[in-house]
């Protein structure tokens, strides 16, 4: 047998290699579109952005949102628990939820006593910061199984798929849309792996671009990532769900700086000197960022603008971008027209274009049509009270950054996002499945598993040894002398001590999915999540030491409401905002 040396590469250099021919082991990732979907067939403008799915028999068209922390998939039926103080009728509620699921109308729906007996995950997060009602979903919701088809792909037709139907107001109604669970014990990812449809419990997301004259669909990739939508180096960290991080999605990062960039190119920081902000990446959250009031105050001082207080709740939106600060766009006033730059301690820096964070005031009208008000713009920042609430980066961060989560490896990876409609899907293969008989017939990237140290919890200030599992990007698959790979020589991990001291340390990855801490508080507002004890901390070292991996630098982080006077439907012309010509 001809032995071929392993090709060790980083995730961003996969294009140098040829994949093996298709075989029984060949499993391509699956790309699900993230796009504007007409929710109600009879209401032309009833758009919501999410993933279209078909559930039941005959199939019912729903729109779902990827949730990073949920393990199960939760669908709303006719008891959808929208907040009736801001969502005034069932039509608005149906649109914002992505249409109701009528389980009684499906001949293939089989009811169980709850989601657990239906075959779903038995644990959901109870971590601080997540919506308070999540742990109660398991005991209070209806449960059953039904047929689920993703992206009209018959290969992704899931029979007897476990579904939960909430029977409490667990998310306050502003989160909107059904929840597609992609957490560490995701029933969806588990079932796709068991079917052999994907080779790892990995998912990736690019939100796309909205609210401009040339909108761009996003995507969620299951079993890999989309190489064409990434730019430059990748930055990989361990997922850490421990209480000490205060990040319930496991994706804690540190923002070193946020800068405004004016149209003439001048940059100014929204942070004071030697300041950094720990944040949790929460892909389903409806804004760009939730951050302390001081950031919003500095923004207004530098841009010489002031948010209005005569709309929403003292100027905070109660519409689709709940909590965003509202600014007048009338001729006599002004709003900021430049971009934002967000820099992380890992080394990643992204630039968010103005039309992705200073957006039109969007809402769903009484007849179900998505409208916008020309009189206002919304700055997609929600100020946090000084009570220890966690800062977050939400879905609009993923208009400028590309995220991959690999539950098998216990890592997450960020790139700069390339806003393109082109696609090149790259499989990610779990290390434990790399030698399951497929050998050289198995293409893709093999992610080594991050080391789990149950005796060590990560916290800010720790200076532990870098786990070799943090370094991602060992790939199997290369063409040598025109011959396909006939055998797998072996797998190895690159081990290297961290160079220098890190601003943040994680001595081990502690997965804490069984945390049923009921001390979380919910104040009935998107601006009042449970306190996590986070505070902005000064940093002398603004980035961790790089780890060299075969010539490629991988940075590792160890440590009573008014309605608008003028309502305009979302029918695009060259100067308006909306779904675009695709509709």
The 10s digit of each residue's pLDDT in 82-138 is 988 888 899 999 999 999 999 999 999 999 999 999 999 999 998 888 888 999 999
Say if residue 439's pLDDT is above 60. no
- What is the structure's pLDDT at 5? 31
Determine phi and psi for 229, rounding to 5 degrees.
Answer: -100, 15
Average pLDDT over residues 543-570: 30
Provide the pLDDT confidence category of residue 342 given band limits of 50, 70 and 90.
very high
pLDDT in tens, 137-157: 999 999 999 999 996 666 689
Strand, coil or helix: 289: strand
- What is the structure's pLDDT at 527? 28
437 vs 199: CA distance, rounded Å: 13
Q: 29-43, 175-189, 309-323: which has the minimum mean pLDDT?
A: 309-323
- What is the structure's pLDDT at 415? 98
Provide the pLDDT confidence category of residue 514 given band limits of 50, 70 and 90.
very low
Determine phi and psi for 239, rounding to 5 degrees.
Answer: -70, 135
- What is the structure's pLDDT at 215? 94
Say if residue 513's pLDDT is above 70. no
CA separation, residue 520 to residues 194, 246, 387, 511 (Å): 35, 12, 13, 19
Pair of tokens at residue 226: 């989309």
In the chain, % of residues over pLDDT 70:
68
- What is the structure's pLDDT at 88? 87
Q: 206-215, 324-333, 442-451: which has the minimum mean pLDDT?
A: 442-451
- What is the structure's pLDDT at 581? 30
Entry pTM: 0.77
Say if residue 3's pLDDT is above 60. no
- Per-residue HEC secondary structure of 205-251 comes to EECCECCCCCCECEEEEECEEEHHHEEEEEEEEECCCCCCCCCCCCC
- What is the structure's pLDDT at 445? 80
Average pLDDT over residues 278-304: 95
254 vs 537: CA distance, rounded Å: 10
Strand, coil or helix: 95: helix
Query: What count of residues does the chain have?
Result: 583
Say if residue 1's pLDDT is above 80. no
- What is the structure's pLDDT at 152? 65
509 vs 503: CA distance, rounded Å: 17
- What is the structure's pLDDT at 250? 96
Place of tokens 């960039």: 261
Say if residue 206's pLDDT is above 60. yes
Average pLDDT over residues 209-232: 96
Helix (H) or strand (E) holding 365: none
Q: Which residues pair with 320 in a beta bridge?
A: none
Provide the pLDDT confidence category of residue 447 given band limits of 50, 70 and 90.
low
- What is the structure's pLDDT at 255? 98
- What is the structure's pLDDT at 519? 28
Highest mean pLDDT among 168-177, 274-283, 382-391: 274-283
Say if residue 173's pLDDT is above 60. yes
- What is the structure's pLDDT at 216? 97
Chain mean pLDDT for the chain: 75
Say if residue 209's pLDDT is above 70. yes
- What is the structure's pLDDT at 83? 86
HSE, CB side, 13 Å, CA atoms: give it for residue 145.
Answer: 15
- What is the structure's pLDDT at 25? 64
Place of tokens 């290699």: 17
Say if residue 520's pLDDT is above 70. no
Provide the pLDDT confidence category of residue 432 given band limits of 50, 70 and 90.
confident
CA separation, residue 172 to residues 85, 134, 270, 523, 528 (Å): 11, 11, 31, 10, 12
Pair of tokens at residue 274: 């030697």
């Amino acid at each position: 047998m001809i032995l071929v040396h392993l090709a060790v590469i980083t995730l961003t250099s996969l294009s140098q290699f040829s994949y093996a021919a298709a075989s029984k082991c060949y499993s391509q990732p699956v790309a699900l579109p993230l796009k504007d979907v007409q929710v109600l067939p009879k209401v032309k403008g009833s758009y919501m952005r999410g993933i279209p799915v078909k559930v039941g028999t005959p199939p019912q068209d729903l729109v779902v949102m990827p949730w990073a922390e949920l393990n199960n998939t939760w669908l709303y039926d006719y008891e959808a628990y929208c907040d009736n103080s801001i969502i005034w009728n069932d039509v608005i509620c149906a649109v914002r939820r992505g249409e109701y699921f009528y389980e009684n109308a499906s001949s293939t729906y089989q009811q169980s006593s709850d989601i657990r007996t239906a075959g779903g995950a038995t644990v959901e997060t109870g971590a601080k910061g997540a919506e308070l009602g999540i742990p109660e979903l398991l005991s209070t919701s209806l449960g059953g199984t039904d047929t689920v088809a993703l992206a009209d792909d018959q290969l992704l037709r899931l029979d007897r798929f476990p579904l939960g139907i909430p029977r409490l107001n667990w998310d306050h109604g502003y989160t909107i849309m059904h929840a597609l669970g992609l957490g560490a014990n995701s029933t969806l990812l588990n079932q796709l792996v068991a079917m052999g449809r994907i080779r790892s419990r990995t998912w990736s997301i690019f939100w796309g671009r909205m609210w401009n004259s040339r909108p761009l669909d996003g995507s969620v990739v299951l079993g890999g990532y989309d190489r064409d939508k990434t730019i430059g180096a990748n930055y990989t960290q361990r997922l850490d769900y421990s209480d000490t991080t205060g990040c319930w999605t496991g994706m804690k990062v540190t923002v070193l700086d946020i800068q405004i960039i004016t149209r003439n190119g001048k940059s100014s920081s929204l942070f004071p000197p030697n300041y950094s902000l720990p944040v949790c990446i929460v892909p389903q959250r409806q804004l760009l960022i939730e951050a302390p009031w001081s950031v919003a105050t500095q923004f207004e001082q530098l841009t010489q603008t002031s948010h209005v207080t005569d709309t929403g709740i003292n100027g905070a939106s109660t519409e689709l971008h709940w909590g965003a600060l509202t600014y007048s766009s009338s001729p006599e006033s002004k709003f900021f027209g430049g971009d934002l730059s967000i820099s992380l301690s890992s080394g990643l820096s992204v630039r968010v274009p103005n039309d992705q964070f200073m957006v039109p005031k969007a809402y769903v009208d009484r007849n179900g049509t998505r409208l916008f008000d020309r009189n206002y713009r919304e700055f997609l920042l929600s100020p946090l009270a000084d009570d220890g609430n966690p800062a977050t980066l939400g879905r609009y961060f993923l208009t400028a950054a590309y995220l991959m989560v690999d539950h098998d490896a216990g890592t997450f990876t960020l790139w700069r996002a390339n806003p393109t409609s082109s696609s090149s899907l790259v499989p990610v293969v779990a290390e434990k499945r790399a030698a399951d008989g497929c050998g050289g017939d198995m293409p893709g990237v093999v992610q080594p598993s991050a080391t789990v140290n149950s005796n060590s919890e990560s916290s800010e200030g720790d200076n532990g040894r870098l786990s070799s599992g943090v370094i991602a990007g060992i790939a199997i698959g290369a063409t040598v002398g025109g011959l396909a790979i006939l055998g797998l020589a072996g797998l190895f991990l690159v081990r290297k001590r961290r160079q220098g001291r890190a601003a943040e340390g994680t001595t081990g990855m502690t997965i804490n999915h069984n945390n049923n801490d009921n001390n979380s508080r919910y104040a009935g507002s998107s601006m009042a999540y449970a306190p996590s004890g986070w505070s902005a901390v000064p940093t002398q070292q603004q980035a961790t030491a790089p780890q060299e991996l075969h010539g490629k630098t991988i940075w590792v982080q160890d440590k009573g409401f008014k309605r608008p006077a003028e309502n305009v439907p979302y029918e695009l012309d060259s100067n308006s905002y909306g779904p675009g010509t695709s509709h």
